[in-house]
Structure 1
Amino acid sequence: MPVARPLLCRSLAAVVVAVLALSGCNDAETPKAEPSGPTTAATAATPSAVAPAVVTLVDAGASPRRVVELDVEKGHTESSTLELTSTTAVDLMSSPAITVPMTIPFTTTVADVTDDEVAVDVRYDKATVTGGGLQKDVLDQARKTVGYLEGVTARVVLNRSGTVVSRDVELGDAAPDLVGRILEDVVSQGFALAVAFPTEEIGVGARWTVASDLSIGGVRASVTSTYELSELTDTGYSVTVRATQVTQPGDTLAGKVIDGRSTSTGTVRGQAGLLGPVEARTSTQGSSTVEVGGQQVKTTFDITLRASTR
């Protein structure tokens, strides 16, 4: 059974925030983050173990029940597209809300399959950002930033239930160190936010929780997700999800995070033989408060995501 990524929008939101920070797009006289030149530290592929998410079965659901596992074969390749629209409002000098539509395509290839794990290679293709009311200089910076995603590759190892075991991310040589760290976070989070199924047998109506810790732009966040299996057949599944993310205080490229919280809801439909969702639709609302130059700035955001795989 495939892996779904219904909450990837939160990690991709890091790109939007980073773009605005790099562009210095607000009207206040806040310092701009200046990318450094390419460094080997930013472009090296470094294997990293992942603290496994804690999956807890709450209700096994109705009979018939079975264990839901990845069912792909070595050499399998699939193409996925993420369509993200983020609307962000900043309570600074009555700044108008900014909407950033973004599309990110990527290809996933199954590199190896064992009794316990599945290793996949992911390659990101050219991402696009449309206007959405952005000023030209900010739009240009946004396009330049997401442009570094093209050619980025990642090796991700998952157990048969869909929980990430390890990941290696390799950035292109052109990515500045600053942008490189952001993109590495984004790429890794895409898999950290995958649906992790229980190892027990489940049926329609099954519910389980997943607790995980993330790193977004260097700041720690905890995510608690609740899944419910609404459909399970020999050819696929459908789940609904509700998740809450709480960001811990810490320093970021855009300033010092004071607090942050978001809630996501969505539906994911998967198909046997595919890793990514045939279709996933999610909506996220939240806010964060960041201290910049001694001033606290609150940002609210509304993010919608549609993901598809073929």
Structure 2
Amino acid sequence: MPVARPRRLSLAVAVVAVLALSACNDAESPSADPSAPTTATGDAPAPVAPAVVTLVEPGAAPRRVVALDVEEGHMETSTLELTSTTSVDFMSSPPITVPMTIPFTSTVADVTDDGVTVEVVYGKATVAGGGLRKDALDQARKALGYLDGVTARVGYDRSGAVTSRDVEVGDDAPDVVGRILEDVVSQGSALAVAFPTEEIGVGARWKVASAISVGGSKVGVVSTYRLTELTDAGYAVSVRATQVTEPGDTLAGKVIEGSSTSTGTVRGQTGLLGPAVARSSTEGDTTVEVGGQRVRTTFEVTLRATTQ
């Protein structure tokens, strides 16, 4: 049975948020306190609000149920390559383009009739300079540097939807950085390719509604999928996702409004957790009130993810 792969396409949005904090460091923004306590988590993964999957069109025959089909102990390595271009409407700041790479290893820790539990260990992220000043680049690299060694434990049901999530942050990570890293991981796991529980065939379409947290702000996500290929060797889907951020206080300031749209493709391979190849393109903007002044940030992100 083809494997329904957890999708990490919108992880880029969380990384852009980290870089936006660096780009806006001339404004009055919160700073990390090295003596602040580290964000810690318990042994049991925390439950998350379930995604709502609605089948729109079952597709052509032959049809089948697409479900996670992996063995306990299976291990694989994945790499995210993404390039973000960010423009901040503040003091005539020029656009900033930053390429980065984030590696991680996934291990299937447990398999039951109801779902699977996966342990994800992130490696050292690399960040190229792009248009960042040296101090801002150093700040971005330091923030993403805490990702190295971070472990996430994520539970999925058989359809590929996230049911629980827990993140372990290093003891030396400031609390503010710990929360940023939790946002990075939560975006990656929350935007999984959740397949319908019904039988589907090529041409099938379905919608997935979910909610995630980014920087302490609630984000509603609606993704529309179309199955373009389904064989014993794997599957391929196209996806379009929209995100809308609720107003409220966040790590970067008070969010007034924010939204983004992503389009992409995911090709899964039987026996793999991660996508053999996934590509996406995202455009969005966010307006944040910092120190009594509103700052609008627009961003474009291209991403390529591979697993072996």
Common topology (TM > 0.5): yes
Match in the other structure for 2:17: 17
Distance between the aligned counterparts of 1:62 and 1:161, measured in 2? Answer: 20
CA 1:29/1:38 → structure 2, altered by over 3 Å: closer, same or farther? Answer: closer
Determine if contact 2:119/2:151 at 8 Å carries over to the other structure.
Answer: yes
Q: Deviations over 1:227-246 (max 9, x none)?
A: 00000000010000001111
Match in the other structure for 2:96: 98
Distance between the aligned counterparts of 1:29 and 1:60, measured in 2? Answer: 51
Residue 151 of structure 2: which of 150, 153, 164 is its match?
Answer: 153
Q: Deviations over 1:75-132 (max 9, x none)?
A: 1000000011110001122210011211100000011111111111111111110111
Match in the other structure for 1:2: 3
Match in the other structure for 1:288: 286
Match in the other structure for 1:215: 213
Match in the other structure for 1:87: 85
C-alpha displacement of 1:283: 0.3
5+ residue gaps, structure 1: none
SS at 1:43's partner residue?
coil
Distance between the aligned counterparts of 2:255 and 2:170, measured in 1? Answer: 29
Distance between the aligned counterparts of 1:12 and 1:175, measured in 2? Answer: 21
Distance between the aligned counterparts of 1:150 and 1:27, measured in 2? Answer: 24
Distance between the aligned counterparts of 1:182 and 1:130, measured in 2? Answer: 20
Distance between the aligned counterparts of 2:304 and 2:178, measured in 1? Answer: 25
SS at 2:13's partner residue?
helix
Distance between the aligned counterparts of 2:25 and 2:123, measured in 1? Answer: 33
Residue 206 of structure 1: which of 204, 207, 227 is its match?
Answer: 204
Match in the other structure for 2:65: 67
Report percent identity of matched pairs.
67
Residue 30 of structure 1: which of 13, 28, 31 is its match?
Answer: 28
Match in the other structure for 1:304: 302
Residue 77 of structure 1: which of 46, 59, 75 is its match?
Answer: 75
Q: What RMSD in Å do the two structures reach over aligned CA positions?
A: 1.5
C-alpha displacement of 1:5: 4.7
**Which shows bigger deviation, 97-106 or 45-54?**
45-54
C-alpha displacement of 1:30: 2.3
Distance between the aligned counterparts of 1:5 and 1:140, measured in 2? Answer: 31
Distance between the aligned counterparts of 1:240 and 1:283, measured in 2? Answer: 12
Residue 44 of structure 1: which of 41, 44, 47 is its match?
Answer: 41
Determine if contact 2:32/2:174 at 8 Å carries over to the other structure.
Answer: no
Q: How many residues align?
A: 306
Letter in 2 for 1:10: S
5+ residue gaps, structure 2: none
C-alpha displacement of 1:214: 0.9
* TM score, norm. by length of structure 1: 0.94
Match in the other structure for 1:233: 231
C-alpha displacement of 1:32: 4.6
SS at 1:286's partner residue?
strand
* TM score, norm. by length of structure 2: 0.95
SS at 1:63's partner residue?
coil
The answer to whether 1:140 aligns with 2:138 is: yes
